[in-house]
Chains A and B, each alone.
Chain A
């Protein structure tokens, strides 16, 4: 205060003295003096408050937790904050999603995985002013410990999952602070799609920004739900396999020869030679069959060096593969495959409704429909449906992607199902190990499964006779030397068998009706991305 006053006096001395100027200067001096006074008062007040802040032990930053103390404290989950616990005092640990302070109040949104709730700090006899200020200044995405009383709200809070209650905070501590500048805002990343017209002014986050900052992106409620559901697919698949007495085998990922084709295989150096990353567990699970495991399945990474940047290709994905020996007809295996799929769909429908609804808030989709037992059509029927709809296609021509999708739409229209099996593919568009159809040599005992009009699994009865396999391989001009181990596996007798493989990411994507497979891969690998 004194400093400022001195300055003003000096100015006065320098200036040429006129009445007007004098008056002006005087006024300015008064103003400055008042301002300084006010500042000093505030500072003093703050100091005083800090000095005897009655709530100073109820907030603050925790020291770095190095496991100093073991505190016995029941920590609730955000999803447990429901109307039946009103007036209870609870601790929660959550992320600070957003905070908004308004005078003596501060509203916080606390987020834990798929769930969030509103917290309220309000100056009172328990909550001091500096405490509200402290809470308002906690950076977004920091992890906080909060104690508060659950209270009912007059109107449901539409922006939170816990609509009926809010938490009146009495203690708040920062466990791990986040840096103030975030590369992406969680709210932007979680913004619902398909409402572009009315809120085009609001920011959205592009796919690449998301993937560059995947850890932050994965924190959105949507992503939390997507990956929980993906885990659910694996869980349901395993349960369905276990129920049917399948054995889980661990299959090598580094192999000596390209298993399918050879164009899209990753080469790795293997001591003095080259080795390849497995493009599918196909040959090894068949060897499992030849080794008398009867019914086998495997879950593991599969690598494809396909240089295609489409919405449904990844260079590394998780394959759910199964193979089973059957007695007389490959439809025995196909029936099992169909019922496994239905088990998965039913399990997801019955046990993962929360996740499905959470994802739908951001990416709206229709219920996944299926029939029990699954619909099974044959190739000529599919071709006929396409032709009836005006598509020109040859009897034995492979389905192009648009035709495949269109056929999916036709099937959905007629049979009202998002999942169907197309049986009896033409032999010429399938790999050499596919068993030809006994009645019509142009067709084969092979099948594809489709979800929402996109192929998710292709499988077949395999040739289990080594001589016939050799003949088929020669017919396809395949270098016999390279697949010798595979052919040898069938020389000492092998049961007739059939099977197929599913891509986990693709199933999740199509089940949820998402538009890009990168949304269902935790850290996607494509030709343009190897990090993070």
Chain B
């Protein structure tokens, strides 16, 4: 072969590709069963397979790019190994470190002036310990007036007010006619509003302790969640019968310990405390609950919040 190709090339006498051969078309057409027919066939028969193959390739490249992206991110963020082990279930992103890293984190909360979320006050006192906190209270134009007490809702403790750009966390409270309980917005365009007081509490307490629901044993977490649900679905939104039953349950739970969960106040205490004060159930509560309310009032953060309640 090499010998012949080394001499010269010979043009074919007949170029079948170019010459027009008039095939008779009087009868019917038949597919070519010889030659390259098999090749074209495979190309025609398998478009589905080919598409599948293309899709697989695309997915694979996507996965690969995602892998490199994640790798790049890990080098940048360097996730804490401890965080990972202690918080296996939730994403528990180190949001507190995000807050520390700079930029103002503005949390907007809409609340109805008829049902002020008192829990916010307690949590604000706690957040203030950890972050440079800023609060702003506004009244929405859809309501005509709110009591002065609600305009000066947060305890400012006097002193030089923080510059907005120096603050890490800002709570913007807007009094508005929201019907489904308080509403929270952080990233308006990429987030659906978080509704309900206890859900806002869940978010804010995760700011305090990013791995809050995984730090202790799973039972404590479940217990806290149980009381948060009690506060929201029974005490705040239940019928009067359900409310009474809820308070009775609370009473028996507080018979077992001074605090709702564990040996000290938790977010569960804050939520239930706020719910009792909002609904006016606090005044006629049974003895164990009364005792617990008193020990709440002895805590400094609850005490400042109590000023707004009174």
Contact = CB atoms under 8 A, between A and B. Distances in A.
Main SS of chain B's interface residues?
mixed
Nearest to B137: A373
B185 A371 contact: no
Interface string B155-177: 00000000111000000101010
A416 interface: yes
A373 B164 contact: no
Interface residues of B, number: 23
A413 interface: yes
Interface string A477-511: 00000000000000000000000000000000000
A388 B108 contact: no
B110 A410 contact: no
Nearest to A369: B141
Given A388-B187, A389-B189, A414-B185, A345 B106 contact: no
Contact of B104 (A346, A376, A381): A381
A292 interface: no
Contacts of A388: 187, 189-190
Interface in A196-220: none
Contacts of A468: none
Given A371-B174, A388-B187, A388-B190, A414 B108 contact: yes
Contacts of B190: 388-389
A415 B136 CA distance: 12
B294 to A, nearest CB: 37
Interface residues of A, number: 28
Main SS of chain A's interface residues?
mixed
B138 A345 contact: no
A410 B189 contact: yes
A378 B136 CA distance: 14
A349 B143 CA distance: 12
Contacts of B110: 416
A416 B174 contact: yes
Interface string B138-155: 111110000000000000
Contacts of B176: 416
Contact of A384 (B103, B108, B141, B164): B103
A3 to B, nearest CB: 78
Contact of A415 (B103, B108, B163, B189): B108
27 contacts: A345-B141, A367-B142, A368-B141, A369-B142, A371-B138, A371-B140, A371-B141, A371-B174, A372-B140, A373-B138, A374-B138, A375-B138, A375-B172, A378-B164, A380-B103, A381-B104, A381-B164, A414-B108, A414-B185, A414-B187, A414-B188, A415-B185, A416-B140, A416-B174, A417-B138, A423-B164, A424-B165
Q: Closest 8 interchain pairs by CB?
A: A414-B188, A413-B188, A371-B138, A372-B139, A370-B141, A414-B185, A389-B189, A378-B164
